[in-house]
Amino acid sequence: MIKKYFGDKAFYKYVLSIAVPIMLQNGITNFVNMLDNIMVGRVGTEAMTGVSVSNQLIFVFNLCLFGAVSGVGIFGAQYYGKGDNEGLKNSLRFKIILCSAITVIGIGVFLILGNGLITSFLKGEANTVDPEISFKNAKNYLLIMLIGLIPFALTQSYSSTLRETGETVLPMKAGIIAVLVNLTFNYILIFGIKPLSIPALGAAGAAVATVLSRFVEAAIVIIWTHTHTAKNPYALGLFKNFNMPLSLAFDMFKKALPLTLNETLWASGVAILNQSYSTRGVDVVAANNINQTFWNLFAVIFLAMGNVIGIIIGNMLGAGRMKEVMDTDRKLIVFSLLISIAMCILYASLSPVIPLLYNTSNEVRHIASGLIVIGALMMPFDSLAHSSYFTLRSGGKSMITFVFDCGFMWFVSVPLAFCLSRFTDIGIVGLYAAVQSVYLLKGFIGIYLVSKGSWIKNIVGSN
């Protein structure tokens, strides 16, 4: 009985061959983000708070792009399983068009509404943090980061297609080089080098370093794809024209729209949750930044498993291997769950130590430690929900994933956080625990939907 939840040696070798490059790339990226965050935190709590607020806004844009490429990527993964290079070419073309449109809209929104959005996070009482200095840091950081949205959009379009075709190593290498560039220029530009007359730019220096790294990453991914057409035949004539069957474009748009809206609304929901937490004081913004930065680092392994599930299950569905899909998916979900339990224990055990890395007040450190423990305890349930989401999405069940992910956020998590933060005096740790606890329910709902098997569907036809 228990064997149906675990694969053999060959199974895990195959899974890890896909997972490890993604985990390494995301892990290194989040590790450098952590170092970046600590560097800014060493400048002062206001700089850290400002960068945190701006990154929460950019996070919405990033997930909007992620939803767009993921929606179209359902076709890409199945086209690859089918061996259809023309279909892959059209999916990449559509990603570029869609991501370009989202980028133009995103830059416009940030330029017009940026100041008001930043201010909404800095309205709580300030015990140890100056809101005005935090606002200045946030605004300068955001304006510089807008330049980096363009190469980031192109990188997402190309890298997602490479991963769908099993090429996970190149995006990993590009990501590693990019984060090393980011780390190097972070140190130089945040703190400055007096003998070389390089001024210390603080939070603005962190933004410049990030933008430079994004241009480097985009250049590597794009150039490699177009100079290795033997491995990437879909890149041949990619820009010769952008013509594609109207019916295919419409089908891709139908799949991409719910996921794009889902990711955008989900990320917006996360921003609202964080804004609700900030009503307990500007100190909470700094503390929550510490928790989220390290949570992203410790969660990277089981979060990467979501991408692995999408790739493996998508390829199997495209190849018509319907009878094997449920068994494979079950083993992948169990593997992800076990990883998340290990990360939960490790993250919780480090809760007293992590806040000490920051040049901030004891009050901020105390709040951060409490948030870290709660975030750690919810990791296994996050893993179940995350794995379920990617499983449902792999078969093109865009509307179900929309209701499951975005619907849950906006009809459960957001109202709960809004009401508790506005109409009760509950402390920040209790507020955070109450809102995060709903992931228990979401995780079990996800597993139930997966077990029904209605997502097992080939959407690109047979050979």
Closest by Cα among 386, 434, 99 to 266:
386
Tokens of 55: 């990154």
Tokens at 53, concatenated: 């607020």
Which 3 state secondary structure label does DSSP give 193? strand
User: Quick check: 260 pLDDT over 80?
Assistant: no
Is there a contact between 389 and 334 (Cβ–Cβ < 8 Å)? no
* Torsional sign, CA 150, 155, 156, 161: positive
Mean pLDDT of the chain: 86
Least confident of 81-90, 175-184, 349-358, 363-372: 81-90
Residue 442 pLDDT grade (very low, low, confident, very high; cuts 50, 70, 90): very high
For residue 113 the two structure tokens come to 């509404």
Better-predicted residue by pLDDT, 160 or 43:
160
Mean pLDDT across 295-299: 90
Beta bridge partners of 141: none
| φ, ψ of residue 198 in degrees (nearest 5) | -95, 115
pLDDT at 265: 85
Per-residue model confidence (pLDDT) at position 377: 96
Residues in the chain: 463
Q: How far is CA 127 from CA 38, 97, 98, 285, in A?
A: 21, 47, 44, 12
Cα radius of gyration rounded to whole Å, the chain: 22
Percentage of the chain with pLDDT > 70?
96
Give the position of tokens 């290079």. 85
Q: What is the pLDDT of residues 303-329, one digit of tens each?
A: 889 888 988 888 888 777 877 888 898
pLDDT above 50 for 463: no
Compute the distance between CA of residue 55 and CA of residue 137 in angstroms, rounded to an integer: 12
pTM for this prediction: 0.74
Question: Computed from CA positions of residues 130, 133, 138, 141, in that sequence, does the dihedral angle turn out positive or negative?
Answer: negative
Q: Can you tell me the distance from the alpha carbon of 160 to that of 68, in angstroms, rounded to the nearest whole number?
A: 11
Structure token pair of residue 127: 């015990």
- Arithmetic mean of pLDDT, 131-146: 89
Query: Are 162 and 168 a contacting pair, CB within 8 Å?
Result: yes
78: confidence class by pLDDT, cuts 50, 70, 90: confident
Percentage of the chain modeled with pLDDT above 90: 35
